[in-house]
Amino acid sequence: MNAYAVDGATGLPKVFTDPPGWNARDSTWVASVSDTVDPRLDWTVGRDFVPYKDWGLHQSDWIRTPAYGGRYSPKKNAQENASGSQSQVDGTRRS
């Protein structure tokens, strides 16, 4: 997540504009108007108070154990709610 932090003045990644401090941020990335992040961040991970695909706002209680698995949800393989695919999956094999 820290790799998505950008410098507010230039829009460049902080890894280039602030080499010693770019990775010093804590692990709490919630949406705020003062956050300066690469817009691709929210296409990559779900974070609290930011829309998560078509499931609504991401909520902290969606994470079973944040201390173990982190505060964020992956988006790459998550299905959209409207697709209905989560209700189509079962453990049987069809021929």
Average pLDDT over residues 28-54: 81
Using pLDDT thresholds of 50, 70 and 90, give the confidence band for residue 57. Answer: very high
Average pLDDT over residues 35-41: 84
Q: Which amino acid is at 58?
A: H
Token pair 């010693």 in the structure block, residue: 20
Half-sphere exposure of 94 (CA within 13 A, CB side): 3
Residue 9 has pLDDT above 90, yes or no: no
State how far the Cα of 26 lies from the Cα of 71, in Å rounded to an integer: 12
Closest CA to 54 of 83, 86, 34, 92: 83
> What pLDDT was estimated at residue 25?
66
pTM across the whole model: 0.67
> What pLDDT was estimated at residue 20?
86
> What pLDDT was estimated at residue 56?
92
Closest CA to 46 of 60, 32, 65: 60
Residue 33 has pLDDT above 70, yes or no: no
